[in-house]
Structure 1
Amino acid sequence: METDVAAAEFLLDRGADRVEHPGGTLFAHLRRVHAMLGEWGARRELCLAGLCHAFYGTDGFGVALGDHGRRGELVQVIGAEAERLVHLYASCDRGRSYPHLASPDGPFTDRFTGTVQVPPPADRRDFAELTVANELDVLTASAEMRAAHGRSLAELFITWQPLLSPSANRAVQNFRP
């Protein structure tokens, strides 16, 4: 729990509580994603990644709290494994990567560098779990986002079922766009 508090303070120092986001502030969203992953039984590193997942910005949210070229700063706060997951999440070119995520050899395109990799199964599972938690929180918080993207994301997440934990799969099944 000490790391969770340090991470929250780090995010607040970077202004996460002053950035608007569906459902309030970016900080509130990050905390909800962290809590959701914890409720689903995710391991500690994935929960920490959930708390910091937007630190470098994302393909869908351009505000960055930190520079992905200075990854050591976040590593010092949440550890190397959690930061690696944050970077993986932030680097995703969604349009090119989402459709292929459930395929074991599906390409994953880095939006920062344009490089294509094939993440191992464990990374695909973590990425899918974090993405579902993030998107379900956004869709729950914003009727506008739910109307615009709810159905397509729900359909996508159905294709990710083999990657998701039973709890995340239940959340996807219970989601109503």
Structure 2
Amino acid sequence: MSIDIYEQRCQSTRMVTDGDLLAAFEGLDGTDQQHSNGTLRHHLIGVRDLLSAWGMPSHVVAAGLFHSAYGTQSYRAEVATLDNRAALVSLIGEPAERLVYLYCVADRSALFRQLPDPDAPMLLDRHAGTSVPLDRETFAYLIHLLLADRLEQLPRRGELPDDDEPRIHLTRAGTLIWHTAQRTLTSKAWAAFQADDHSRGRYG
């Protein structure tokens, strides 16, 4: 799918309102816990804001606000449980919850290895150890979620430990991953990466 067609689809599939998202979000417990030298709530809202600014469809924006709900490979704290996925579906809808689920169970290294443009994208479920086939659109949405997750934390990265995952992935070597993702990212997401890349001058 070309970037132009992809972005047109992003603009044409908005359904969940910002008010709906925040009402569901405010009903969660545990968002005051620590995350990247701030609170989880601050981080989740920041990721949502980035995805919205990039023109992502509503279910991807919703997924951004809840992206670590089940705990992720690098952030294990949960605000929802995998044995009751229906509860999150009822809050944000099935398409958004499925993205949240895939994001949380994904082996991220396996996703990155498929860049820049996989013919048959897949996700390695780190819990089950099984491969989950993905369509190209879902793969692209997951890459956008990963990038938003990292970029949101960068303003605080100077205070983060050297082994912090977002910091590692956006060092001079790690940034090569994102340069290979250019064909997967929308133009607005790529511009956001480049703006950070150039202004901070550390990735090369």
Give me the whole-angstrom Cα distance separating, in 2, the residues matched to 1:21 and 1:59: 14
Which residue of 2 is the match for residue 59 of structure 1?
73
* Deviation at residue 32 of structure 1 after TM alignment: 0.4
SS of residue matched to 2:170:
helix
Give me the whole-angstrom Cα distance separating, in 1, the residues matched to 2:179 and 2:27: 35
Cα deviation code 1:127-151 (max 9, x no counterpart): 0111110111123322234654322
Q: Confirm or deny: 8 A CA contact 1:158 1:172 kept in the other structure.
A: no
* Deviation at residue 23 of structure 1 after TM alignment: 4.4
1:159 to 161, 180, 203: 180
Which residue of 2 is the match for residue 133 of structure 1?
148
Q: Percent identity?
A: 30
Q: 2:30 is aligned with what amino acid? A: G
Instruction: Tell me the TM-score normalized by structure 2.
Output: 0.79
The reply to whether residue 45 of structure 1 matches residue 65 of structure 2 is no
Give me the whole-angstrom Cα distance separating, in 2, the residues matched to 1:85 and 1:43: 12
Give me the whole-angstrom Cα distance separating, in 2, the residues matched to 1:92 and 1:56: 11
Q: Confirm or deny: 8 A CA contact 1:7 1:52 kept in the other structure.
A: no
Q: Unaligned regions of 5+ residues in structure 1, if any?
A: none
Q: 2:179 is aligned with what amino acid? A: I
Q: Confirm or deny: 8 A CA contact 2:51 2:61 kept in the other structure.
A: yes
Instruction: Tell me the TM-score normalized by structure 1.
Output: 0.90
Cα RMSD between the aligned structures?
1.7
* Deviation at residue 107 of structure 1 after TM alignment: 3.7
Q: Confirm or deny: 8 A CA contact 1:23 1:29 kept in the other structure.
A: no
Give me the whole-angstrom Cα distance separating, in 2, the residues matched to 1:149 and 1:97: 13
Which residue of 2 is the match for residue 149 of structure 1?
169
The reply to whether residue 120 of structure 1 matches residue 135 of structure 2 is yes
Give me the whole-angstrom Cα distance separating, in 2, the residues matched to 1:15 and 1:9: 10
1:169 to 190, 193, 196: 190
Q: Confirm or deny: 8 A CA contact 2:121 2:139 kept in the other structure.
A: no
Which residue of 1 is the match for residue 13 of structure 2?
none
- Residues 1:23 and 1:36: Cα distance change in structure 2 (over 3 Å): farther
Task: Give the 4+ runs in structure 1 shifted more than 4 A.
Answer: none
The reply to whether residue 6 of structure 1 matches residue 20 of structure 2 is no
Cα deviation code 1:42-89 (max 9, x no counterpart): 111110000000100111111111111210000010011110110111
SS of residue matched to 1:163:
coil
- Residues 1:147 and 1:5: Cα distance change in structure 2 (over 3 Å): closer
Give me the whole-angstrom Cα distance separating, in 2, the residues matched to 1:23 and 1:29: 10
Give me the whole-angstrom Cα distance separating, in 2, the residues matched to 1:31 and 1:67: 20
